[in-house]
Structure 1
Amino acid sequence: MMPVFQFRMVVDTPPTEAQAVALVGLPDAPAVEVAPEEQVGVVWFDRSAPRLATAIVSAAHDLERVGLRPIRVEPRDQVTVPEAAARLGRPAEWFRTWLTGTLGEPGAPSPMPMRPAGRERFFSWDDVEAWARERLDPDLPDGPPVLTAATLVLRLRRCGRGVDGLPELLDLIEARP
């Protein structure tokens, strides 16, 4: 089972109705949110991919194909057990027994105090990921540092074309002291 990565991408302008329709028509049907007070749009993705970086790149290309420019990537911090299990590439009921059920582990993350309208409780993704990496699988797919790197790459794409010496600056990424 391929993991599902959940994140949101902020775009530089609110999507038009036609752009929102085009995005919702994609196979993974991202949700589109307009933030008029900030003059930006937000597109929520649940994207299947082998790695978070792959999911982010394909989402950015989808946004660009409909004429939107992604400017930042943000995590979805609150997850339910099924969402956490999907991110980890595990069956939800198996993961539920580890996290909250009969195999409930000492030190497992506790649900967040807020209670949604439905039956599912929410957990902090950061807590779940750290616990799962330590207890279940040290080789989990890459996590939040990829979101920071993706945002930096998006910023570089916007301003880097006019930077004198950009190739030398990019060498810093691989350079070791």
Structure 2
Amino acid sequence: MLAGMTDRPETVVARWPVRSPSGPDGLAGLLSAYHLQTEAEKGAAVADVAALPDRYRAEIVDPRAVFARDAVLVALRGEETAGCVVVAPAAGWTEIKRLWVTPPMRGQGVAAALVAAALKHAGKTGAGTVRLSVWNWRTDAIALYERFGFTVVGSWDTRDRLVCMERAA
């Protein structure tokens, strides 16, 4: 083996739907984990997907309908579906949402690969600004976004503890 090389697979980001060995696309599992974890962190833990609020459950049950106008990007590492992000167009800006990396894949550059791919996609849409919102307790995510040039801006969302960020596309 050459110095500096590892046997770890690289992260490949593809537009959903994709086929992977860990399931037909892995997206439902990623979104389920994202929403269940988020509800628990908000202090409103639920037992399973069936108990999630309707709007979140719909993303898991019928992502084609919910994300029909959006680009859903999925990260693959070797045989595993490692993470996802949604890039949603809006009037004059693009929103990044639902960034999620499976716990075993964290710390391996998957989130950075997803954000980079999301920004590349957003740049192709012609939008001047990329926005996102993130819960204030997700400090690692906030630091990642800051490394990509996002800055905190005034909130456009009324939910408590939500940090709104943006950057030029």
TM superposition score category, shorter chain reference: under 0.3
- When you count helix as a share of all residues, which structure comes out higher? 1
Report the TM-score when normalising by structure 1.
0.25
Q: Which has the larger radius of gyration?
A: 1
- When you count strand as a share of all residues, which structure comes out higher? 2
The structure with higher relative contact order (CA 8 Å, sep 6+) is: 1
Report the TM-score when normalising by structure 2.
0.26
